Amino acid sequence: MNLLKINNRGFWATLALTTTLVTGLPHLVSAQSNPGLTLFSGVDRQDILNYHLDFGGKAGGWDRYRLRIPGKKITQGVSKFFITYPEYYTGKFDVDSIQVRVKDKKLPIREVVWDKESRIIEIDLEQPLLESNRVELVFSNVKNPENGGTFYFQAQVLTPGQVPLRLNVGTWILSINN
Higher pLDDT, 61 or 31: 61
The CA distance from 36 to 29, in Å, is: 12
Is 62 in contact with 143 (CB distance < 8 Å)?
yes
CA–CA separation, 136 vs 134, rounded Å? Answer: 7
Helix H or strand E encompassing 78? strand 78-84
- What's the CATH fold of domain 34-176? Immunoglobulin-like (2.60.40)
pTM beyond 0.85: the answer is no
With cut-offs at 50, 70 and 90, classify the pLDDT of residue 178. confident
pLDDT at 25 (0 to 100): 45
Q: Which long-range contacts (CB under 8 A, 24 or more apart) does 50-54 make?
A: 50/172, 51/172, 51/174, 53/174
CB within 8 A of 60, min separation 6: which ones? 143, 144, 145, 146
Q: CA 72: distance to chain centroid?
A: 17
**pLDDT tens digits along 102-143:** 998 999 999 999 999 999 999 999 999 988 889 999 999 999
Residue 47 — very low, low, confident or very high, per pLDDT cuts 50/70/90? confident
Cα distance between residue 130 and residue 138, in whole Å = 20
What whole-number distance in Å separates Cα of residue 21 and Cα of residue 28? 10
The answer to whether 86 touches 171, Cβ cutoff 8 Å, is no
More confident call, 10 vs 57: 57
Specify the range with the lowest mean pLDDT, choosing from 20-34, 85-99, 119-133.
20-34
The string of pLDDT tens digits covering residues 53-71 is: 999 999 999 999 999 999 9
